Structure 1
């Protein structure tokens, strides 16, 4: 795992999704406690570049390794 997702913070703004160079981000079918589908990382595609971390206004992501 290169990136950790704090799903309860996700507001499904899709900035991470739109900017991920490896298309490693999608959204779960489950709804979080605030009524949004939270981001999900495909760890096989993720390269740990940190763009999701940089783009997210809600602090959803933590980059663990590159």
Structure 2
């Protein structure tokens, strides 16, 4: 998943590598803006529900999701 977002007059791309995401939901918990991430309904073949990103236009670009992801599955890139 990759979508461009604007924050503080800067553009970001937020990507979640679904193959690496194990559904720990740390990104959901640490995000200072409620509603950017959501937990998908479908259970993966590994037995957990992955995280998806929505409402990316509200993203502040703080990068907490990327910095604290233990599986390095979240990327916030300046474009």
TM-score of the two chains, using structure 2 as the length reference: 0.70
- CA drift of 1:18 comes to 0.9
Unaligned residue ranges in structure 1 (runs of 5+)? none
- CA drift of 1:54 comes to 0.8
SS in 2 for 1:44: helix
Unaligned residue ranges in structure 2 (runs of 5+)? 5-12
RMSD over aligned Cα, in angstroms? 1.7
Aligned residue-pair number: 66
* Aligned match of 1:9: 20
* Aligned match of 1:64: 77
TM-score of the two chains, using structure 1 as the length reference: 0.81
- CA drift of 1:32 comes to 2.5
- CA drift of 1:62 comes to 1.0
* Aligned match of 2:66: 53
* Aligned counterparts of 2:43 and 2:19: Cα–Cα separation in 1: 9
Please tell me whether Structure 1 or Structure 2 has the larger radius of gyration of its CA atoms: 2
* Aligned match of 2:8: none
